[in-house]
Structure 1
Amino acid sequence: MLAQRTSLLKFSGTAAAKMAANAAASNGNEIIDLTAGEIWSDLASSVRDGAIAAINRNLNRYTDTIGLIELRRALACKIAAETAQPWTADEIAVTHGAKQALFNAAMVLLDPGDEVLIPTPHWTTFPAQILVAGGTPVFVDTRHSNFVPRVTDLVAALTSKTKAIVVNTPNNPTGTIYDRDTLASIAQLAIDQDLWIIFDECYGTFAHAPHSHHPMVSVAPDARDRTLTVNSFSKSLAVTGWRIGYLAGPKTVITAVRALQSHTTSNPNVIAQHGLLNYLERRDPVFELNLGRQVANARALGLQILSELRSVPQPSAQGGFYFYLDLGELQRRAKADGRKLDADDVANKLLAKAGVATVSGTAFGDPAGLRLSYGIDLELLNKGLRRLTATLNGCS
């Protein structure tokens, strides 16, 4: 007999899409995989050198539960530079990627029945972790407002049980970047209603001109004592497999996170910590420049190809490395012809007919969306998007 909480969990929609792609490829089909939330890149030399040096020094023992003090100090300097405010090591916990940072936040903030506002479309893990913590996710639709939450809609969703708001910018899956005014308005709402802000900025490195990413704490310093910032190096350094991230917030929260993490995972991988510490101390401008160019070139190529779509608007792709397609017009045309067409149908057709794996918007609470990653090899991206465009144009 399984615990009741297991009934609250469904397998991650993005992971399921990846598995479907792998299954199709294992049958001998040529599959171009646009599902993964990662960038195909070599390792930054500073990260590699730091990790190898740690191995050569036989660093194989526990560190502090929430990370090396030297690493947390270096992260404090990084965050201080980004927010123009002083930070200390006591306000930072190093975690096994952003997922653990988010899980820690949910577990130390939420009591059973507490509600958390989540703008939709949303990353699949947000509501799952809130449910595990005993909370209730409350979804706020942003599809009618260019994927940016309107404060009036957030206010309408408030109840006496509302405890927190999730703010994810640049957004996964939509790629939307929230402007300063939106962030300031959300922060003021949180102050007025005594709410926590869970601020996920994992894609903040990739903001595409003319758009800019703004840390919540830099926009609204008055909300710092109620803001938990979640970040990782999975995207910015292309080290998804290393599982290294952090949570920054008030000391009282970090103290609670230390206790929680001591009973769950203990410290993050010591070799990964030293690799990241070496990067933060040395920086790696050549790697950063090359990775930025790689993402920018992929985005430009993708937008050019997707501009040929006839019944699907070109995505804005303001930040991150996803194209998010609005299938609404395709669905309206299908309905007029007496056919039902949701995002799952489109994703399945693309996989079967075009050999292109995508993530259906249903994974993100949106039956009219489709997420495409452009973090893959440029030649494969070119091939995959041309196949996808031809197939979708055939549906219109």
Structure 2
Amino acid sequence: MYNLFKLNNGLRVVVESIEYVNSVSVGLWVENGSRNENASNNGISHFIEHMLFKGTPDRTAKQIAEAIEDVGGQINAFTGKEVTCFYIKALDTHLELSLDILSDMLFNSNFSEDEIEKEKGVVVEEINMSEDSPEDVLMELHTKAIWDRDSISLPILGTMDTVKSFSKKVIVDYVDSYYIPENSVISISGKFDMKNIEELLEKYFGKWHTKNKNITKYSSPQLLNNHYFRKKDIEQLHVSLGIPGVEIGNDDTYALILLSNILGGGASSLLFQKIREELGVCYSIYSYISAFKNTGIVSVYAGLNPSNAESAIDAIKQEVSKFAKSGIDNERLYKAKEQLKGSYILGLESTSSRMFSNGKSVMFLNKINTPKDVLRKIDEINMSRVNSVMEKTFKNGIINSAYVGKEKQMVEKLFKGNIISLDK
């Protein structure tokens, strides 16, 4: 049973009651991430995520963790380009405790200057760790190639310089501006009493009001034709190739996921079978979609030996072109729809995954996308829709790319030397 309502302060709430489970998952979603930032405060959203776990007047950082872990629960958070989410999963008897902890973290965090300075060191190490991961470096580089100077290209972690610059005043002012009920969603999924849930939420979040409101609005960035290279002293060449996608909430999303799965979604996909199995020129290859507000991209990732770069990338380009021209037949469409439905339903077999699905849906689309709705949309994908989506996406071919490895020369000739090297 679902319900979607607003508290008097404008905070959106989505709840899903599941009687046959004995757990409950609660998520506090804020429409704020690195895309809300600029060059001088880049990384502040992720830094604030860390700081909300560092203690309040009533609880130390250790006591926040213990309050949930001592009753067998889990507490965590993540920051993305457009959202920050704090979440707890616990036994259904601890719903009120979960709401108490999340509200205490949100409204009463100390933002101690000593803790801020200590956490700068932690986040700098996180940035260093990301720098040691070629896949992470590649993802950030490709994001830059796709959107360049638009804020969506800013790294979620920020930079060492921006992180070291954060002060208590800058952090508190930012929280006051963006962490507001109008930008936020509470998502609850699991076993609880639907009769008093609204009263319970009013108790913990009903007094949430701010004066300096900054309602989140995002640009509509153009997809660019950049090809970037970053030198790393590693054995493999890591490759990310970009194809136009669709924005979040677009009716074409499910058809695009279906097509991406056929192209590079697993061991039976076209790219895996051709590039790895038949040609043997790479170990890892797959495609996936990234959908944001007002923009989206399909990415093809490959990890390969630099000596195979020319033949592998040329083969990928040919396979994408052939896929766009030939399309798929009805039998392939049916199988792909069944695959998509299966993976979707299997992915909803926990209260936390359902909480994430509902929270994201209300956050970005302002409505509940129930499993029944999603399955219906998948079933409604027909050949006409597939061909229309193919025309808008894969038929444009690879329009941008990024490479991380030792030698730029290996990939230069594929784009007529138009590969730009970006230093750190």
TM-score by length of 2: 0.22
Higher Cα Rg, which structure: 2
TM-score by length of 1: 0.23
More strand by share: 2
